[in-house]
Structure 1
Amino acid sequence: MKKMVIVLLSLCVYASLLLFSVHKPSSGVSEEYMTDVGKLMPVKVKKVVKGTALSSIQEVIEEAAKKDLKISIAGKRHSMGGHTYYHDSVVLDMTGYNKILDFDKEQKTITVQSGATWDDIQQYINKHGLAIKVMQSQNIFTVGGSISVNAHGRDIREGSLISTVNSFRLLNADGDIINVSREKNKELFYLALGGYGLFGVILDVELQLTDDELYEMNTETLDYKEYNDYFKENVIHDPNVKMHLARISTAPDSFLTEMYVTNYERASGVASLQEYNELKDERLTAVSKFALGMARDFDWAKNTFWKLQKNYFLQTDGELISRNNVMRSESKFLEYEDENDNDVLQEYFVPVDAFADYIDDLRSVLSEEELNLLNITIRYVNHDEGPVLSYSDEEMFALVLLINQGLSKEDQMKTEAIVQKMIDVTLGHEGSYYLPYMPYPTKAQMLRAYPRTEEFFEKKKQYDPDERFTNFFYEEYEQ
């Protein structure tokens, strides 16, 4: 019975694996208004058009040009800073544009329309023994949305998502369809990927796949000061470790000191992938919602939950799981309908060698602030080719923070002030932060974290002089 309780409560841990938090839009927002899952920035839009065919998408572009309307591009709307809409804009909803167009098992490639989700791809390729190379820890997001933010995942042998994109087609503000790759229209490749929908509509994408594999989960605990050396000695230089994640405690009794790490190592022995490759579904949602709700409201619940989830993962030591299933995590249990608060995300990148000192400085800041911090997951971001708005030009640890905050303007201002302090700490350690969240960082912080910011916005105006494609992120940070 005790183990069952641990299993049920531990499902909440997947909250920290989201790159974008999951909530139902507030029932207080009328149909003429639009918001994202963060619920913090509802605005009136001109209309929402669901793109289901190329012709319908082209009609939106043509109408906007004739009537001088702004266009915003939306998928699942999990970016939280107004990246997917704009006041009085035409919002192009791409979720219905989701067909799988081509698949080459031998070359390990798949071409999908940009509204397809990662789950759509997994369902299609799993039976062929193939898997996705890079994606978030949830498979509910659209491909177009994910590459527009250049997402990253758990695979420490791959870089960010851009490294797996072979090519894509882009519908620009003039209504022209452009083939984009590292060889054709190369400049646009590094602008539109990680470009937050500002350079046009990504229509379809060819992705490079990899083999599905069977992994053994191995978990151990350690002190945060040991993590840097542990990672170098036991993870990054061991070719059998293919995926890795760590969590550091946000519980009051062990705040930012205790950690546990889980390595996904290539399985050895007689077990076959076929025994473990059936795609898992979500379950036990109600219990998980309840447990996370308790942790939102009570310090004792945070302490208890940290111990339970740590013990649970230690008990799973040695269990086997397929690569595709590692990339499928609980998400529905994070949906809740509280009218007064919600969960938001921040993500900070810090050089590997700076980790312990960074945690010390972060703890010093947060010990003086009132921030309802629920979870921190740590991943490794391998250096690879990056877009113009690249969040990392060296090997980094990425810390994903799940924060509960109120919806009022006062609560937002409090969170904004704390976020700016945390970003200052991150920048002080030569780190960076991720852009798909609330526009809490200052313009000066963005310029420091993203030194090619001005170049990005200049290229935006060059490729889209009428600024047809826009969103609140652009309005906030365009210089």
Structure 2
Amino acid sequence: MKRFFIVILYALLFGLSLQAFHFKLDHPIAEDISRLMPVKMKAIQAEDNEEAIKRIILEANENDDPISIGGMQHSQGGQTLYPNGILLDMKRYDKVLDLDVKGKRITVQSGATWADLQEYINPYGLALKVSQSQNIFTIGGSLSVNVHGRDIRHHALIETVESFRLLNAKGQVLTVSRKENSELFSSVIGGYGLFGVILDVTLQLTDDELYKIKTKSLHYDEYTSYFKKEVLQNDDVKMHLARISVAPGSYLDEMYVTDYYRANDQAQLSNYDTLKRETIIAVPKFFLGLSRYNDWGKERFWETQETYTANINGNLISRNNAMRSDSAFMDYSNPSKTDVLQEYFVPIDQFADYIDDLRKTLSDEKDFNLLNITIRYVEQNDESMMSYAKEDMFALVMLINQGTDNESKENSGRVIRKMIDVTLNHNGSYYLPYYGYPTKRQLYEAYPRTEDFFQLKKKYDPDNRFMNLFFEEYHP
């Protein structure tokens, strides 16, 4: 009898476990890289051909299912998620369709990554005009957030796009360019997947080149004049980035810059054009890890960055390799904490005053764990409906460590809203792919055409077939 009850109990437990397993299969939990907002989806679907993707859209129409679109899912504010919706995972849709070497243009499916493109075009002596500093992201995702990078002559990604094909909510495929469906061109690029599925994109390319790296240390109040004179007015400088210290001993004061000059002897390019992968990962990963825990670690991390920058001064590097940074050293796994990003854009002439105000704002925020600030340049461009570059701007990319509990999120939100207000007070703006800490007021002030953007969403997708948590949070 005892054995009988044990068998019955085991069967019940097995049945409950199986039921829970099938429930998880039927209701998968999806989350972005920040892990701050796990969302229960109806399904996650990935296809590698256009007709299959179209069927997903048509079936969603029949079942009245919302659709969110995801690539690498490094957006951190629910831009690729919506509760009980279909997550359309585009990573398998990744073929290069055409390369015009003479015309320097490529057509590629939206699930391909920048790394895929670089490996394809590098043998032809071609390079990307614009991409993020890391090359792990999908082309469709990068269009959806209208990325920018290190190149100071080519700015927002939208500038390099000739056309793309869009699968809309009705299952129709539209060709979109500056001349054809132009409203969609300006709203889909930087539109966070709210207008349809970007199927494939035709991008302008440029020549691969050999660069000489030059680095320099300076103080924050010297940066604007240095940049205007030594970088913008020098046609030989092709790429640029800077970092400003968050270590207590030099907090928002010391900086170093890294400039990429076109090398005099381009014949040496063949000695440097093999695509590299970063191999020195353990050291920066170790010191970045230390910086998460205390001020001593932040000092050591800044010293490590300065030493590395000094050591690469004078090095030669190809354009493709300069646009090929590996983010592996930033990988971080902690059950109760996560790293999040913020990015603020400030007019270049207001940089020093902005840093002074930012320093005052953060001086009393002892629990706000700011790990790193990287600075790039973006030229004014209003071609995208949701353009972040209202004038020539410095872009400050901030890496922040925070807890995943509600109290930590509330604290981070409070500080971030203060920083955004400082940015807006300097006629700046902020980047949208991150957690929904900003208020609606801040969104509409940073992006004056937000109302028009949402009106176009209503015009082209009246049933809200394409949905995400960003839209849910901020639409009227």
| Pair in the same fold by TM > 0.5 | yes
1:118, 1:183 → 2: CA distance? Answer: 26
Q: Which residue of 2 aligns with 1:32?
A: 28
Equivalent residues of 2:28, 2:44 under 8 A apart: no
Tell me by how many angstroms 1:383 deviates: 1.9
Q: Which residue of 1 aligns with 2:442?
A: 445
SS of 1:112's partner is strand
One of 367, 379, 383 as aligned partner of 2:380? 383
Q: Does 1:416 align with 2:413?
A: yes
Q: Which residue of 1 aligns with 2:351?
A: 355
1:76, 1:317 → 2: CA distance? Answer: 33
Which structure is higher in RCO with an 8 Å CA cutoff and minimum separation 6? 1
Tell me by how many angstroms 1:304 deviates: 1.7
Q: Which residue of 1 aligns with 2:299?
A: 303
Equivalent residues of 2:287, 2:300 under 8 A apart: no
1:312, 1:133 → 2: CA distance? Answer: 26
TM-score, with length taken from structure 2: 0.93
Q: Which residue of 2 aligns with 1:144?
A: 140
Distance 1:288 1:222, change over 3 A: closer
Tell me by how many angstroms 1:291 deviates: 2.1
Q: Which residue of 2 aligns with 1:235?
A: 231
Taking the TM superposition and a 5 Å limit, the aligned residue runs for 1:126-145 are 126-145=122-141
One-letter amino acid matched to 1:376: I
One-letter amino acid matched to 2:186: Y
One of 268, 279, 285 as aligned partner of 2:281? 285
2:255, 2:279 → 1: CA distance? Answer: 27
Q: Does 1:52 align with 2:48?
A: yes
Equivalent residues of 1:29, 1:42 under 8 A apart: no
Tell me by how many angstroms 1:51 deviates: 2.0
Tell me by how many angstroms 1:85 deviates: 1.1
Distance 1:352 1:67, change over 3 A: same
SS of 2:345's partner is strand
Tell me by how many angstroms 1:286 deviates: 3.6
SS of 2:211's partner is strand
Tell me by how many angstroms 1:283 deviates: 2.1
One-letter amino acid matched to 1:95: K
SS of 2:292's partner is helix
Tell me by how many angstroms 1:145 deviates: 0.1
1:335, 1:233 → 2: CA distance? Answer: 37
Tell me by how many angstroms 1:336 deviates: 2.4
SS of 2:423's partner is helix
Tell me by how many angstroms 1:281 deviates: 1.2
One-letter amino acid matched to 1:257: D
2:256, 2:40 → 1: CA distance? Answer: 45
1:476, 1:155 → 2: CA distance? Answer: 33
Equivalent residues of 1:390, 1:450 under 8 A apart: yes
For residues 250-289 of structure 1, the C-alpha deviation after alignment (integer angstroms, 9 at most, x for no partner) is 0010000000001100011475110001111132434433
Instruction: Extract unaligned runs of 5+ from structure 2.
Output: 1-23
Equivalent residues of 2:343, 2:430 under 8 A apart: yes
Tell me by how many angstroms 1:298 deviates: 1.9
1:187, 1:289 → 2: CA distance? Answer: 44
Q: Does 1:198 align with 2:190?
A: no
Taking the TM superposition and a 5 Å limit, the aligned residue runs for 1:240-319 are 240-269=236-265, 272-319=268-315
More displaced, 326-335 or 409-418?
A: 326-335
One-letter amino acid matched to 1:316: I
2:152, 2:330 → 1: CA distance? Answer: 26
Q: Which residue of 2 aligns with 1:373?
A: 370
More displaced, 365-374 or 385-394?
A: 385-394
Q: Which residue of 1 aligns with 2:5?
A: none
2:392, 2:381 → 1: CA distance? Answer: 9
Q: CA RMSD in A?
A: 1.4
1:79, 1:87 → 2: CA distance? Answer: 16
For residues 104-139 of structure 1, the C-alpha deviation after alignment (integer angstroms, 9 at most, x for no partner) is 000000000000000000000001000000000000
Distance 1:341 1:30, change over 3 A: farther
Tell me by how many angstroms 1:72 deviates: 0.5
Tell me by how many angstroms 1:337 deviates: 1.9
Taking the TM superposition and a 5 Å limit, the aligned residue runs for 1:318-333 are 318-333=314-329
TM-score, with length taken from structure 1: 0.93
Tell me by how many angstroms 1:385 deviates: 4.4
SS of 1:272's partner is helix
Equivalent residues of 1:97, 1:115 under 8 A apart: yes
Tell me by how many angstroms 1:29 deviates: 12
Instruction: Extract unaligned runs of 5+ from structure 1.
Output: 1-27
One of 209, 216, 222 as aligned partner of 2:218? 222
Size of the aligned set, in residue pairs, is 452
One of 86, 92, 110 as aligned partner of 1:90? 86
Q: Which residue of 2 aligns with 1:73?
A: 69
SS of 1:297's partner is coil
Question: Runs (4+) of structure 1 moved beyond 4 Å?
Answer: 28-31
For residues 61-102 of structure 1, the C-alpha deviation after alignment (integer angstroms, 9 at most, x for no partner) is 111110111000000000000000100001100000000000
